[in-house]
Amino acid sequence: HIFRKGTMAKEGEDGKPPELKKVLGPIDLVVIGVAGSVGAGVFAFSGVAAARYAGPAVVISYLFAGFCALFFCAPYAEMAAMIPNSAGACSFATAAFGRFLGWLVGWSLIAEYMFAASAVSIAWSAYFTGLFHQLQLDIPHVIATSPIDYDQDSNILLTGAWFNLPAVVLILLCSGVVMVGAKEFSLLTAIILSVKVGTLILFVLFGCMFVNPHNWDPFIPPEVSFGHFGWTGVLRASSLTTFAFIGFDAIATAAKESLDPVKDMPTAMFATIGICIVLYSSVSLVLTGLVTYTALAEPDPLIIAATAAGPGFSWIIPFIQVAVVVGLPSVVVVSLFAMSRVLSVMAEDGLVPSFFSTLHPSTRTPVAGTAVCAVAAAALSALCPVEIIAELASIGTLFAIITVCAAVIWLRQSQPERLRPFAVPTIAVPVLGILLALVQVCFMPWITWARFVCWMIAGAAVYWGRSACAGAEGEAAAAGYEALPDAPPP
């Protein structure tokens, strides 16, 4: 059943299991998108990207990543409007290319959201322990950071810690929010998001008064080695910050809970990208203007920059800490939400065990699936450093993006008559999306490629193992699929 296609049928067909509640309007979708994007990518990884790869030119990295995201977003919007009964890239790939590639994309999305949730929780832990330190309530180092780390040459280092307890607790608490219900979690996320974005706006508006232009010289530091400064470093930083724009992908996973997915999802996706581009570029420009970029290789770069600016700007430090402690969890919530929805649809298609799609009778949410997602993400955040997790989240995102762009091209050729409520203006858009994604993938460190290949090999092994051991369930799910045009040869 490698190339058996997924259905593009409308919702509400006979025999469907109980469905998720349709409660999300356009504002809710934008909130999910922005809340799922604005997090560790700017509060934590902006400093690492500047200090290790791009220098002050990290602003160019964010602008380029945002430019690419617009070309990535357009094919997503076309597919989401054409297949509203979906859960994002996994459903799109299954519909166009068959169950096996749909599984691999779903497996990649699981990595994307699991690693994103873990990366944000680790960044949150650093700010949280810093806030407690200011209150003279120090959390022991051995339970507040990862036991492993690695340097810029990818050499593994031992930190002497046991595990990152605050990060684990955060993920478990956020999973409880996801289990409550889509509308409830959207309202809570909107409140949290206002605190987070409001603080970033304050950082930019008041921080620009303390900028020292000498910190931007040189704006693009001379290349030390491939991917470390120079233009190759700028592009590498761009590829590694791709996960900071994954909010539009999270929107696609909420299609089944959207009131009008055909109309609202494309609009919400583009709005999310626009908001993120403005925030990231302005924050990174002020950040590198406040302090020399070499001092930013820490998990709390905004606080380092505000401290370096002197007493006149140090008043914002408590606001940043509160924004992170209160605001970053919204990214974890959205990531767990999206991850559980992807697994739910994969379960409906017979790709994973059926309990992932079992809904709680009152909240109508996949409680069991959400719990499994939370435990996996918590284990990662307890043991791994933020850099490794952020890189894996980005490469998983880019793989899904390439597949969705290819799906648009294939379905334009194989099903030109299908109604497309939103259509990219030219086939050149998904083609350029693929090329831009490949450029970003090529600039990732080799160790990231190796880890991702291992993850995908494990995914293929799980697929074939499940096909062999759980044939009955897979056959039952496969029997309900509508015939679509044959996929291209493997």
The neighbouring-strand residues paired with 156 are: 150
Q: What is the mean pLDDT of residues 187-197?
A: 83
Weakest mean pLDDT among 3-12, 189-198, 311-320, 414-423: 3-12
Average pLDDT, the chain: 79
Residue 205's pLDDT is what? 93
Average pLDDT over residues 295-304: 83
Instruction: Write down the pLDDT at residue 432.
Output: 92
pLDDT of 470? 54
pLDDT at position 484, please? 40
What pLDDT is recorded for position 469? 62
More confident residue, 86 or 410: 410
Residues 6+ apart with CB under 8 A from 362: none
pLDDT at 18: 54
**What integer pLDDT is reported at residue 475 of this predicted model?**
45
**Residue whose C-alpha is closest to residue 246's, from 69, 451, 445, 48:** 69
Question: pLDDT: is 36 or 68 the higher one?
Answer: 68
DSSP reduced 3-state for 29: helix
For the chain, what are the domain ranges? Answer: 26-467
For 26-467, CATH gives 1.20.1740.10
- Structure token pair of residue 393: 């989240």
pLDDT at 486: 40
Q: What is the separation of C-alpha 326 from the centre of its chain, rounded to a whole number of angstroms?
A: 19
Looking at residue 389, what is its pLDDT? 65
- Distance, in Å, from the CA atom of 105 to the CA atom of 101, rounded to the nearest integer, reads 6
Which residue's structure tokens are 């490698």?
2
> How many angstroms separate the CA atoms of 273 and 268, rounded?
9
Q: What is the pLDDT of residue 387?
A: 60
How confident is the model over 341-364, as a mean pLDDT? 76
- State pLDDT tens for residues 108-153: 888 778 877 887 788 788 778 877 777 777 778 788 777 776 665 5
Residues in the chain: 490
Tell me what the mean pLDDT of segment 46-56 comes to: 87
Pick from 139-148, 150-159, 162-171, 229-238: least confident = 150-159
Residue 158 φ then ψ, to 5°:
-100, 130
CA–CA dist 150, 167 (Å, integer): 19
Q: Specify whether the CB–CB gap between 336 and 178 falls below 8 A.
A: yes
Contact of 112 with 396, CB cutoff 8 Å: yes
Instruction: List the beta bridge partners of residue 164.
Output: 144
Please state which of the ranges 211-225, 241-255, 303-317 shows the lowest mean pLDDT: 241-255
When pLDDT is averaged across residues 66-76 and rounded to a whole number, the result is 87
Classify the C-alpha dihedral 362-366-370-372 as positive or negative. Answer: positive
DSSP-assigned letter for residue 209:
G
pLDDT at position 449 over 70: yes
Q: Where are the alpha helices (DSSP H) in 181-300?
A: 182-207, 230-240, 247-253, 261-290
Looking at residue 86, its pLDDT comes to 66
Q: How confident is the model at residue 77 (pLDDT cuts 50, 70, 90)?
A: confident
The sign of the CA dihedral 346, 347, 348, 349 is positive
User: Does residue 218 have a cis bond before it (omega within 30 degrees)?
Assistant: yes
Q: Is the confidence at residue 59, as pLDDT, over 90? A: yes
Give the pLDDT of residue 388. 63
Above 60 in pLDDT, residue 384? yes
Say if residue 80's pLDDT is above 50: yes
Give the tokens for residue 196.
């987070």
Is 90 exceeded by the pLDDT of residue 204?
Answer: yes
Mean pLDDT of 367-385: 80
Instruction: Please report, as a single letter, which amino acid is at residue 282.
Output: S
List pLDDT tens digits, range 310-344.
Answer: 888 888 888 888 887 887 787 788 788 888 888 88
Give the per-residue pLDDT at 85: 66
Q: Write down the pLDDT at residue 122.
A: 80
